[in-house]
Amino acid sequence: QVQLVESGGGLVQAGGSLRLSCAASGRTSLIYAMGWFRQAPGKEREFVAATSWSGGTTLYADSVKGRFTISSDNAKNTVYLQMNSLKPEDTAEYYCALKKGPPARARYEYASWGHGTQVTVSS
Average pLDDT over residues 7-30: 93
Rounded to whole angstroms, how far apart are CA atoms 94 and 47?
10
Comparing CA positions, the residue from 88, 98, 96, 94 lying closest to residue 9 is 94
The pLDDT value recorded for residue 33 is 94
| Predicted confidence (pLDDT) at residue 21 exceeds the cutoff of 80 | yes
Give me the pLDDT at residue 74, please.
86
Nearest Cα to 110, choosing from 7, 27, 4, 6?
Answer: 4
H or E stretch covering 20: strand 18-26
Per-residue pLDDT of 34-91, as tens digits, reads 999 999 999 999 999 999 988 889 999 999 999 999 999 988 999 999 999 999 999 9
**Residue 26's pLDDT is what?**
86
